[in-house]
Structure 1
């Protein structure tokens, strides 16, 4: 099923399921006192999302959905009053009026189908990162959210953390001048350079494999190859390390510099094998300039074992080792190192650290950040609660689909470039297509009917 058919079918199906009383939830609608949530995907990340959302005192978890009976059982034990489902379509169809918001924490390839159906039913959506599996899906999700004026949020929890907000303020204050280059890295390995499996294993009785595959191509089940982990490595389901850690680490520089989408992208990686993402990627983007950059911006991403490669921009004072993951802003007044995560940014000029305590204090005061709290367990729920509060008519979200779809598009262009190693691809933001026609086939998927 082609993208257009999928989108039309999804929209038509959702429209047919609408029941009286489904109201659009805008970014600043009337205040409510309770939010009834439905959760699609209850595995490792999904259970954490459910825990964080449910920790808000106004939330009532009313529906749970997972294709794995074990995950569903564990979630139901925490929320015994919620109804349980294996198929999210049935959940949305049967509980339309009883759901106020939907949380999606499935593998990447199901983000768009589930989110779009919920949004077509006028439900606010919190969707895990990356927002979608294909560029066409990210754009469609942003379009529907805007058209319906829905509260939306992508699950990049660190977006709301102290040090990332601080770094954004510092960069926009001009602390390193106009930024001409960003270098970002993660040594995580969500790639797979091996061959596709040639054998299969019995499908566990607890797993609905057909529904797990969803709209992705049919494939034999292989134990520990796809579900519940390692699916990020496979092109049909995940988005590699770029889609996992890249979204988090790109977020602050992307937001701080007010970037849009790139003009060009090139990925230095091994030849594509049609099955797994490359284990090492060196992706270079060229972005149009903004008020915080030079005439253009060069962005270099390194991932996989051994990342990043040595470069003068990444040399630290006193021979120090780089943080395991992070980013460096390089401007005409110096460099700003931003570790990932929960570490204060540090400025480097002429090979020496600079005392920027005064600038940090001013930035923190401007944002009313208060004292730094570097505790993931206490800080992580803030991003989720921001979504809940927005649904209740109290404020807005900082990573709505209008923003996160563009950020996701940047990420996905890098994964598409991995299909054409060493070739510079030219992106036309207006048309949403590459100048190189061969690359355009990877902007959307062939959707299997289920």
Structure 2
């Protein structure tokens, strides 16, 4: 799944090619459907409240090329604004019913649901030949991610994961800084977040409460083991529960670890090891209150050339790396609550939550700093909605 393009590029790929791979599924084969350059891409939103509203509206703003034809969400209270702003879109609670009834009227789907529902929704849409834009984290499990990658290859649909910070200049500045050898060979990277900002460390399921009239709780539960409704599960707080979310690391590592992944080519490694250094408050129901996780990567090839072995540390729950020697106490690491720190043989670099404000430490090193030649294309204003 390629998340290095913008939504505009995603839409362009799906609408401006001579033959668009918007497939229909029959019993024997996937048959491509041709769209003329003048036809609009017909988009359906799976998840239309919260972040789902942002995603579907970013598509709807491209009125010349896009028509939002349907919205599906089991919690209609959360969807009131989407329903109001997209009055012509047909409304559903069950995305499966939407895809079955409107399959030949949909070319692409946004998937912006709780994490545990990402893979089932994306899988069904892709198997029906629909291009998909799936919010981060892509899936609830590694196995699900591998399955979606397989289905994408089999169907040829266009795919993208929502990772807005990847569009900013800062992460590109950091990559070019490291690739140009401004801090030498990177041996360590430290990434931290102030998340969770939702409840975790809870030992037992929550007591049953009345289900709101506007919600279909059974549909919201979806593939997870059934449990009675409680307002502290949904909306938002589902992130901290094993059955529904991916905790702090699943919610934020795709943003804060993205600079390290790109600059250090971590995903190019053929293998790596993971070690839990410490955790506090983990239960059978929820993720820990805080943790430190150590990743060890062997030598690998990157866009900036070969890279030596590197150790990467992840911190959440307010834990942070030790301040490196020689960095004054009044100089901020990252942006304070969140950020990344790169330790090299010839210096130190840091960046903020979404890779922004990439800089050398201590700050005095930036006085005579000359940015290396640009290797990576910039996105205007770093806007993922372009």
TM-score by length of 1: 0.72
Counterpart of 1:34 in structure 2 is 40
Any conservation in 1 of the 2:259–2:355 contact (CA below 8 Å)?
A: no
Counterpart of 1:215 in structure 2 is 223
Q: Give the length in aligned residue pairs.
A: 354
Residue among 177, 182, 186 paired with 2:184: 177
Counterpart of 1:389 in structure 2 is none
CA distance in 2, matches of 1:253, 1:259: 7
- Aligned-pair distance for 1:309? 4.1
Residue among 327, 332, 340 paired with 1:321: 332
- 3-state SS, counterpart of residue 77 of structure 2: helix
- Aligned-pair distance for 1:20? 10
Counterpart of 1:280 in structure 2 is 290
- Aligned-pair distance for 1:271? 6.1
Counterpart of 1:381 in structure 2 is 385
CA distance in 1, matches of 2:36, 2:369: 42
Any conservation in 2 of the 1:317–1:352 contact (CA below 8 Å)?
A: no
- Aligned-pair distance for 1:332? 1.6
CA distance in 2, matches of 1:80, 1:18: 34
The yes-or-no answer on 1:49 pairing with 2:55 is yes
- Aligned-pair distance for 1:356? 5.9
- Aligned-pair distance for 1:289? 1.6
Counterpart of 2:245 in structure 1 is 238
Change (3 A) 1:18 1:44: farther
CA distance in 2, matches of 1:182, 1:31: 46
Any conservation in 2 of the 1:24–1:122 contact (CA below 8 Å)?
A: no
What is the CA RMSD across the aligned residues, in angstroms?
2.7
- 3-state SS, counterpart of residue 295 of structure 2: strand
CA distance in 1, matches of 2:355, 2:144: 32
Aligned pairs (5 A) from 1:219-368: 219-223=227-231, 225-260=232-267, 262-267=271-276, 268-270=278-280, 272-291=282-301, 294-305=307-318, 307-312=319-324, 316-317=327-328, 319-322=330-333, 323=335, 324-341=337-354, 343-348=356-361, 352-355=364-367, 357-359=369-371, 362-363=373-374, 366-367=375-376
TM-score by length of 2: 0.84
Q: Which runs of 5+ in 1 are unaligned?
A: 1-13, 383-450
- Aligned-pair distance for 1:319? 3.1
Counterpart of 2:80 in structure 1 is 73
Any conservation in 1 of the 2:350–2:359 contact (CA below 8 Å)?
A: yes
Moved segments of 4+, more than 4 Å: 14-22, 29-33
- Aligned-pair distance for 1:270? 2.8
Name the stretch that deviates more: 173-182 or 273-282: 173-182
Aligned pairs (5 A) from 1:102-117: 102-117=109-124
Q: Which runs of 5+ in 2 are unaligned?
A: 1-22
Superposed CA offset, 1:316-365 (max 9, x none)? 3453233221111222221111112474211126x8433365215x32xx
